[in-house]
Copies of this chain bind each other. A is one copy, B any other.
Amino acid sequence: MTTGIKIMWINPLGYDAYDQPMADFIAGIKRDDTQVDVVSLDVPGSPNHLEYRTYEGLMLGDTIRATREAAVNDYDAVVIGCFYDPGIEDAREISGEAVVVAPCQASVQIAANLANRFSVIVGREKWVGQMTERVTTYGYRDKLASMRAINLGASELQTDCGLTISRIMEAGRRAIEEDGAEALLLGCTCNFGLYRDVQAELGVPVIDPICAAFKMAEDLAHMKKVFGWTPSRIGSCAPPPEEELASFGVFTGRTSIKNRVSA
């Protein structure tokens, strides 16, 4: 009923090693006629993870620029591929007709249809505070049973998948038994694909943040095409006027996208 849609998945890092594997993973879950570009940013001196607010902050400008590029190039949806959902509100302002989705919000929305309480399995204790704020902002604080850390950094999660999975299972089991979790969310996009084994073992829904974010983006993009549900552009959602952008030269000069892989 709709023609195919076009999605930009932004890895908000000046580091491109995740682009291809994520593109491959997304290729396996997208609808046939969906076009997906996985991109990373042109940030010199970039870290290869976003475990600190400092790092997220340093990537924000180019995340916004990449979103702007999506907007002016007719993408239907943009995904910001990090469970902190970094810059989601900012990107939503400048995304034009593209819907902006991110893993944390997508995951809690899906989970709330499947369970009354859920836990998030994160890499490090450090992440807990900020991600709890995210969940709170989205309105799901009362449904959060706990956040549990497995003491692995983002860049280690795919290093030894067996180790990662066994730690997630241990943390997930305790979340279920001690914290009252009824579903689990994997709190890092680097976990992609690991949910299956955990889910099979623990017997509760285990939400993979890439699957969640990507499908929510794809589905909202379809709704946009069929029902005309584009992002609101009034009130707090109003973007800077185009003339103003032009006069300051805000988006002139350079692209923020350094690497691009099609899924």
- Asked if A58 lies at the interface with its beta carbon under 8 angstroms from chain B, I say yes
- Asked if A115 lies at the interface with its beta carbon under 8 angstroms from chain B, I say yes
Given contacts A45-B251, A60-B61, A249-B45, contact A220 B110 (CB under 8 A): yes
Decide: A231 and B215 in contact? CB cutoff 8 A. no
Give every chain B residue within 8 A of A31 (Cβ-Cβ). 1
Q: A3-11, A17-25, A162-170, A235-243: which lies at the B interface?
A: A235-243
Decide: A235 and B93 in contact? CB cutoff 8 A. no
Q: How many copies of this chain does one complex carry?
A: 6
Decide: B139 and A229 in contact? CB cutoff 8 A. no
Decide: B223 and A54 in contact? CB cutoff 8 A. no
Interface string of A212-229 (1 = CB under 8 A from B): 000110011011001111
Q: Report the bound CA distance from A129 to B236 in whole Å.
A: 6
Decide: B228 and A199 in contact? CB cutoff 8 A. yes
Please provide the chain A residues from 27 to 81 with a CB less than 8 Å away from any CB of chain B in the complex: 29, 31-32, 44-48, 51-61, 63-65
- Asked if A204 lies at the interface with its beta carbon under 8 angstroms from chain B, I say yes
Q: Report the bound CA distance from A176 to B138 in whole Å.
A: 22
Decide: A58 and B250 in contact? CB cutoff 8 A. yes
Give every chain B residue within 8 A of A110 (Cβ-Cβ). 220, 223, 229
Decide: A90 and B57 in contact? CB cutoff 8 A. yes
Q: Report the bound CA distance from A48 to B250 in whole Å.
A: 11
Decide: B248 and A46 in contact? CB cutoff 8 A. yes
Residue in chain B with minimal CB distance to A195: B227
Decide: B89 and A53 in contact? CB cutoff 8 A. yes
Residue in chain B with minimal CB distance to A223: B215
- Asked if A230 lies at the interface with its beta carbon under 8 angstroms from chain B, I say yes
Give every chain B residue within 8 A of A90 (Cβ-Cβ). 53-54, 56-57
The contact sample of 10 A-B pairs, CB cut-off 8 A, is A45-B253, A47-B248, A52-B239, A57-B90, A58-B250, A99-B113, A115-B232, A116-B235, A117-B236, A205-B229
Closest 7 pairs between A and B when the two form their complex, measured CB to CB: A139-B139, A129-B236, A57-B90, A115-B232, A45-B249, A182-B232, A53-B90
